[in-house]
Amino acid sequence: MEGTNARAEGEVVELLQQLIRNACVNDGRVESGHEERSVRTLTDYLEGPGLHLERFESAPGRQSLVARIEGTRPDAPTLLLMGHTDVVPVHEEGWREDPFGGELIDGEVWGRGAVDMLNLTASMAVALKQLAREGFRPEGTLVYLAVADEEAHGTYGAGDLVANHYDAVRADYVITESGGIPIPSPAGLKLPIIVGEKGLYWCRLRISGTPGHGSQPYRTDNALVKAAQVVQRLHEFRPETRIHDVWRRFIESMGYPDEITEPLLSSDGFESLMESLPVGMARQFHACTHLTIAPTVVQGGDKINTIPHTVELDVDVRTLPGQTIEEARAALVEALGELASSVELITLQAIESTSSQIDTPLWDSLSRVTQQWYPGSETVPYLTVGSTDAKYFRGKGVTSYGFGLFSRKMTFEDYGSMFHGDNERVDVESLSLSTALWTQVARDLLG
């Protein structure tokens, strides 16, 4: 067994390095991504006895790979391990190491995608290969999906597969990112399982003015000046605190003292408590309990000596469980106040929040097997404030969680800061833990 573990560790490090070096950067354009590179890498690695492989291409170069170990009982459950192969762009000047070098430095693999989420994509593949080598023949079916386009919301990946090739990815249970960061608490070590995610409402605010000459700005209707006021209104808007069930269960399990628990479960005192928390934790906790509005892109003006007549502002709105897209639009109108009459609201993309039940066989399985590495720990529900491909499967009624298993070296604060950030990296121990986790969950859940 020790030799098997060492082999798996070496393979997951090498596979992760190659996936990073493939640089499948997704900037949102259909011609970006090039996930075919990593599908080739994974196909070369996984091909062999015991595995059936299928490729799907939704647009040139936008490939996804499905691999499976078929179960012996048609009525037994199917588990889908889903990792994406695309990564977000980088600003290289902020990196200490080559973001696409995949270097192993002091026990850590560096590079874009190391935590989001090529680490899990690689470890899932290695676990699948390890089980196939062992001749694993479960009652239930084990499916591995290396999917394209997650970083642009899955139009050319999970969205296409669920809509057009659902039989290839049909499952009773799905595990994807992110979860599993060990969180110390007064009540012991907690392992968060992502059971839901916020919805999103992406929109464009078109702000109109009157054109004029830049040499005569007095009393002009300058769309850019008006847009600045709009940005300030959005920045200052304070949506109400909402304590939903997932948040309540998470906080109640942490064992914080009353002076922390009470404001975290109440709209009274929540904002003031945020000021005293570490910034990474405060951002997470605030986003988990509030509709958020972030102006992110501005475009306008024709030339330096012309008063602009139109400015367009892109805004990222994220909604909580139970909140509708209509509520998101209403919040924007409320934030703008009297300026709303000068703003045209254009919907770009709208996806409502999704969540899965907690009391399921998959939850029980994760709770059981993690005791091998973290005895006495407790799995707790958590809400991711971003968006994952789990939403497509939850839309089909499939129990879908985000999880992995990380070492104590990976703190909640570090993990959050590296998502889409600089100097992304993951330690080898975390890679080994996740690889071992997938093999044990497959054995425990599928029989």
Taking only the tens place, the pLDDT of each residue in 392-409 is 999 999 999 999 999 999
Rounded-to-integer distance, Cα 415 and Cα 84, Å: 18
Q: What is the mean pLDDT of residues 158-186?
A: 96
And the tokens for 379? 């799995």
- Rg, C-alpha atoms of the chain: 23
DSSP strands (E only) in 308-446: 310-319, 343-351, 354-355, 378-384, 399-402, 425-427
In one-letter notation, the amino acid at residue 319 is T
Which residues are bridge partners to 384 per DSSP? 197
Domains with residue ranges and CATH for the chain: 2-186+353-446 (3.40.630.10), 198-351 (3.30.70.360)
The tokens for 202 are 């992406």
Residues 310, 316, 318, 324, Cα dihedral to 10°: 30
Tokens of 382: 């958590």
| Cα–Cα distance, 161 to 166 (Å, whole number) | 6
Six-digit token pair at 214?
């830049």
Residue found by looking up tokens 């089909």 in the block: 396
pLDDT digits (tens, 9 = 90+) for 278-315: 887 888 899 999 999 999 999 998 899 999 999 999 99
HSE-CB at 414 with a 13 A cutoff on CA atoms is 16
End-to-end CA distance of the chain: 20
| Closest-CA residue to 199 (of 12, 325, 92) | 325
Q: What is the pLDDT of residue 277?
A: 86
Predicted local distance difference test score (pLDDT) of residue 1? 55
Predicted TM-score (pTM) above 0.85: yes
| pLDDT value of residue 2 | 59
99-104: which pairs have CB atoms within 8 A and are 24 or more residues apart?
Answer: 99/424, 100/20, 100/21, 100/23, 101/20, 101/21, 102/16, 102/17, 102/18, 102/19, 102/20, 102/21, 103/17, 104/13, 104/17, 104/428
Total residues found in the chain within this entry: 447
Q: For residue 194, what is the enclosing H or E element? A: strand 190-197
Q: Which residues have C-beta within 8 Å of that of residue 37, sequence separation ≥ 6? A: 22, 23, 24
The answer to whether 343 and 230 have CB atoms below 8 angstroms apart is yes
Assess whether pLDDT exceeds 60 at residue 444.
yes
| Helices and strands of the chain, counted as H and E runs | 15, 18
Token pair recorded at residue 204: 């464009």
CA gap 114, 102 in Å, rounded: 8
pLDDT band with cut points at 50, 70 and 90 for residue 416: confident
pLDDT score of 56 more than 80: yes
Active site residues: 86, 150
Q: Is residue 418 very low, low, confident or very high in pLDDT (cuts 50, 70, 90)?
A: confident
DSSP label of 257: -
What CA–CA distances, in Å, run from 129 to 301, 402, 431? 55, 21, 15
Q: What is the mean pLDDT of residues 238-266?
A: 93
**Confidence check: pLDDT of 141 > 80:** yes
d(C-alpha 112, C-alpha 96), whole Å:
12
Query: Would the pLDDT of 4 be above 80?
Result: no
Work out the pLDDT band at 178, boundaries 50, 70, 90: confident
Under the phi-then-psi rule, with left for phi > 0, alpha for psi from -120 to 50, and beta for the rest, what region is 171?
A: beta
Element housing 286 (H / E): helix 279-289
The candidate with the shortest Cα–Cα distance to 157, out of 89, 81, 66, 77, is 66
- Distance (Å, rounded) from C-alpha 130 to C-alpha 184? 32
| pLDDT tens profile 181-236 | 999 999 999 999 999 999 999 999 999 989 999 999 999 989 999 999 999 999 99
What is the DSSP code (8-state) at residue 340?
G
